[in-house]
Structure 1
Amino acid sequence: MPGRNYFSILMACVLAGLLLFVSGAAAADAKREPVAKSADQIYWDMGDGTVFDSETRLMWMKRDYWQAQRGWVNWYTAMEFMQRMNNKHFAGYDDWRLPTPEEAKTLYNRRKRNIDKDGDKIFIDPIFPEGSGWGTWTSEERGGKAVVVSYKGNGGEAYQDKINGPDAFLRLVRGPLP
């Protein structure tokens, strides 16, 4: 059956091409060199508007919504912003998303010092530029509320109204990367 043999060869070629494409994309991420690293070598500034966390393997937008848009953001607008960044292929990627609460909490560290938009102390690595918001919306939602993770004081998380949450902010993430 020559037709069956041709189909098998064709499928093998398609699968090989797909494997090369996927491994090439992962290799492109792995081959990029940071332009700077945090004092503890955990956070890597990739020089393209992103910061890579070498422990969690998450890639964060270096500037948050406040720094990019100069305004607060409700949860629905945060979702629209995420879609815009994906449509623009921000930093070459189209898989940006809101972090989970657990992921967002990995940025909080009492030994790290930074300054938020109001000049108040927040506890995220100074590899992120000063002047950001004091927290971020997350993907966890319940009805008309979603979780916001704070980087002020003792940190923590709280459900806020998706539309009228008081002065909420956003920092998008992607990954974890291989």
Structure 2
Amino acid sequence: SDYIINAPSFTDNSNGTVTDNITGLMWQKVDAGEMTWDNAVAGAATLSLGGFTDWRLPTPAEAFSIMNHGRNPALDSTYFQSNATGTSQYWWTNDTYGTDTTRVWSTNAGGGIGPHSKTQTVSAGGTSRFCARYVRGAAASVGHNYYNNGDGTITDIDTGLMWTQVPGSARNWNAAIAYAEGLTTATYTDWRLPNVKELQSLVDITMTTATSAATAKAALNRTLFPAATATAYWSSTALAGGSLTSAWLVEFGINTSVPAANGPSRGFQGLVSYEVQASTYPVFAVRTASTLACDCPCDLNGDRTVNGGDLGLVLSSWGVANGTAIADTNHDGIVDGQDLALVLGAWGACP
């Protein structure tokens, strides 16, 4: 079972570019072919396509966003094609793996994402084909804009998704789906198991620096999700093709429990991979927040209206919070532009 939220939607612009109707990003339709990562980075500056010259390599999240996990291969060849000189297997992004500059986040044709050595590609002496597909448009911030609702749930302001703060215990995939749908956390009854893209949105690549399972801590916001200490969690997305007996995982830690025969090699944080559905992994649950969690908490002075008085409190509290500052609306320890955006986004009378 999968929950299709914001199904992939693309427009072929008939000029060598494709627009993602969900994110608004414009992509190169036919990738630039196999090359080293250094050449891929340099190539963006010389690309002129569709009348535009502001092309760049995508972030890991952007590269993952065009995958369609309802098909295998996961890129729709109607809109995304390989260079005529060979079949693409992987696509570079612009980010290296934490402090390990020898590895680069890369998506693969099957729909996964993980850090790969720069030397794996043919042009660097390897045996795989790592290619460049360029994108243009404003890159999203690497950070996450969360709000702690104070009721066992966390809202991601950027995605509009509400998460259970404490994951459920390990269980098989079918049981995980049933568990999430049966939750009543914070009185909501529309909880579900997140699809693979939703679950991957929790990954914080700035925390993916560990190289051993013994030292790895979960690559997500550990302040807001302190109980999320497991290495991997189920998504609701089944692996397309074959007998549909596997499902996608997101590995926030370093997962050493999966035999190589059952899925791609492990050893890094932030991987999107898969496992047989009979295996047991813990469960995050998600729902679509009907309104931003800050609608009433952003009424900082208690007058039932988010207005100039609340804006003044934010501006007068600007900087490092003292731990109790009411203007620190997202509870991240600092009053900054994120708090300002939350107040402005909730402007007007409280519901």
1:169 corresponds to which of 278, 282, 289: 282
User: 3-state DSSP class of the match of 1:128?
Assistant: coil
**Is 1:125 aligned with 2:221?**
yes
Q: Distance in 2 between matches of 1:92 and 1:110?
A: 32
For residue 159 of structure 2, what is the aligned residue in structure 1? 56
The CA deviation string for residues 59-106 of structure 1, in whole angstroms up to 9 with x for no partner, is 00000013xxxxx21101112212321xxx321111111111111111
Letter in 1 for 2:287: R
For residue 73 of structure 1, what is the aligned residue in structure 2? 171
User: 3-state DSSP class of the match of 2:249?
Assistant: strand
Q: Distance in 2 between matches of 1:103 and 1:41?
A: 13
Unaligned residue ranges in structure 2 (runs of 5+):
1-142, 209-213, 254-267, 292-351
Within-5 A mapping of 1:144-159? 144-152=245-253, 153-159=268-274
1:134 corresponds to which of 219, 231, 240: 231
User: 3-state DSSP class of the match of 2:199?
Assistant: helix
Structure 1 residue 119: deviation in Å?
Answer: 7.2
Change (3 A) 1:131 1:107: closer
The CA deviation string for residues 13-71 of structure 1, in whole angstroms up to 9 with x for no partner, is xxxxxxxxxxxxxxxxxxxxxxxxxxx771111111100001111000000013xxxxx
For residue 192 of structure 2, what is the aligned residue in structure 1? 97
4+ residue runs over 6 A deviation? none
* Identical positions, percent: 26
Change (3 A) 1:135 1:177: farther
Letter in 1 for 2:194: P
Structure 1 residue 120: deviation in Å?
Answer: 3.6
Change (3 A) 1:100 1:135: same
Q: Distance in 2 between matches of 1:107 and 1:129?
A: 13
* Count of residues in Structure 1 that have an aligned counterpart in Structure 2: 125
Hey, which of these two has a bigger chunk of helix by percent?
1
Equivalent pair of 1:58/1:174 in contact (CA under 8 Å): yes
User: 3-state DSSP class of the match of 2:203?
Assistant: coil
* Structure of greater relative contact order (alpha carbons < 8 Å, 6+ residues apart): 1
Equivalent pair of 1:58/1:177 in contact (CA under 8 Å): no
RMSD: 2.2
User: 3-state DSSP class of the match of 2:220?
Assistant: coil
The CA deviation string for residues 112-153 of structure 1, in whole angstroms up to 9 with x for no partner, is 48xxxx874111002111453222211111411111111123
Change (3 A) 1:119 1:79: farther
User: 3-state DSSP class of the match of 2:282?
Assistant: coil
Structure 1 residue 176: deviation in Å?
Answer: 5.2
Q: TM-score, normalised by structure 2?
A: 0.33
Change (3 A) 1:145 1:111: same
Q: Which has the larger radius of gyration?
A: 2
Equivalent pair of 2:149/2:155 in contact (CA under 8 Å): yes
For residue 329 of structure 2, what is the aligned residue in structure 1? none
Q: Distance in 2 between matches of 1:146 and 1:83?
A: 17
Equivalent pair of 2:234/2:281 in contact (CA under 8 Å): yes
Letter in 2 for 1:51: I
Change (3 A) 1:101 1:137: same
Q: Distance in 1 between matches of 2:287 and 2:270?
A: 22
Change (3 A) 1:41 1:120: closer
Equivalent pair of 1:44/1:54 in contact (CA under 8 Å): yes
